[in-house]
């Protein structure tokens, strides 16, 4: 796919990986609309990338999503990097089951976007979702996040066979330095150094590095139903 001149929508596009993806699509010449729930994030995104449009949208609001997609149709690229809400962590046997269940809001947001975008996506359009390395290498306390990531990747493989020639892929990041993680300065860097000490690349990734993976699956017309890892070697022993 030649991105120049294409129309792209990026859900979760007002911070972190989504915002970096908006920037790269704009740089490639696409007409881009980014979406988020946070008014403050939307304002910051508008200031950071004046060449893109930004709107408020909750990926769990099907009616609003359907209306928005119809308004912006047709489009060629859909990226969903939205988390859907809070993610539960901690030992499973002590976990609040409502928290575990709530973590699947990310999956439902993805399901909503793929289903409701389908009729408005161009024939050779491309969808990209985001999972995470815990899907296939789960550390203790990450069962909810791992389960959701597995579901996202399985959903993508299942749907790819139905929507062809439209394409759908997943990018699976490792630990990425985004606003999702708290802390500042030395304490923040100490946290990232500690949790990546056993990785082959001993640092957190950047949102731009993940966005580059997203751009790869958008541009490569021979890739569909695939998960691309951008994780610093976190899956390897």
Distance CA(125)–CA(34), nearest Å, equals 17
Q: Domain ranges in the chain?
A: 7-230
pTM attached to this predicted model:
0.95
Distance CA(99)–CA(225), nearest Å, equals 29
pLDDT of the chain along its 237 residues, tens only?
A: 999 999 999 999 999 999 999 999 999 999 999 999 999 999 999 999 999 999 999 999 999 999 999 999 999 999 999 998 888 999 999 999 999 999 999 999 999 999 999 999 999 999 999 999 999 999 999 999 999 999 999 999 999 999 999 999 999 999 999 877 777 778 888 888 888 998 999 999 999 999 999 999 999 999 999 999 999 999 998
Distance CA(160)–CA(168), nearest Å, equals 6
- How buried is 94 (Cβ within 10 angstroms: 0-12 exposed, 13-18 middle, 19+ buried)? exposed
Distance CA(23)–CA(162), nearest Å, equals 30
- How buried is 236 (Cβ within 10 angstroms: 0-12 exposed, 13-18 middle, 19+ buried)? exposed
Out of 3.40.50.1820, 3.50.50.60, 3.40.50.720, 3.90.1150.140, select the CATH number for domain 7-230.
Answer: 3.40.50.720
Distance CA(183)–CA(140), nearest Å, equals 22
Distance CA(96)–CA(91), nearest Å, equals 10
């Amino acid at each position: 796919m030649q991105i120049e001149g294409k129309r792209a929508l990026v859900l979760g596009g007002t911070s972190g990986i989504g915002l970096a993806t908006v920037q790269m699509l704009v740089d490639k010449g696409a007409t881009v609309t980014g979406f988020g729930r946070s008014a403050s994030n939307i304002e910051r995104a508008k200031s950071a990338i004046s060449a893109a449009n930004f709107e408020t949208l909750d990926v769990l609001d099907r009616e609003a999503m359907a209306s928005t997609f119809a308004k912006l149709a047709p489009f060629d690229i859909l990226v969903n990097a939205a988390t859907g809400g809070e993610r539960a962590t901690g030992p499973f046997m002590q976990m609040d089951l409502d928290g575990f269940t709530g973590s699947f809001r990310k999956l439902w947001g993805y399901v909503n976007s793929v289903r409701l975008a389908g009729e408005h996506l161009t024939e050779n359009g491309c969808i990209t979702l985001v999972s995470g390395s815990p899907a296939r290498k789960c550390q203790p306390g990450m069962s909810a996040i791992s389960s959701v990531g597995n579901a996202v990747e399985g959903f993508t493989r299942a749907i790819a066979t139905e929507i062809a020639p439209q394409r759908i892929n997943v990018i699976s990041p490792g630990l990425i330095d985004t606003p999702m993680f708290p802390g500042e300065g030395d304490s923040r860097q100490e946290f990232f150094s500690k949790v990546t000490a056993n990785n082959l690349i001993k640092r957190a990734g950047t949102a731009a590095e993940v966005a580059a993976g997203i751009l790869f699956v958008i541009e490569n017309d021979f890739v569909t139903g695939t998960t691309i890892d951008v994780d610093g070697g976190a899956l390897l022993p």
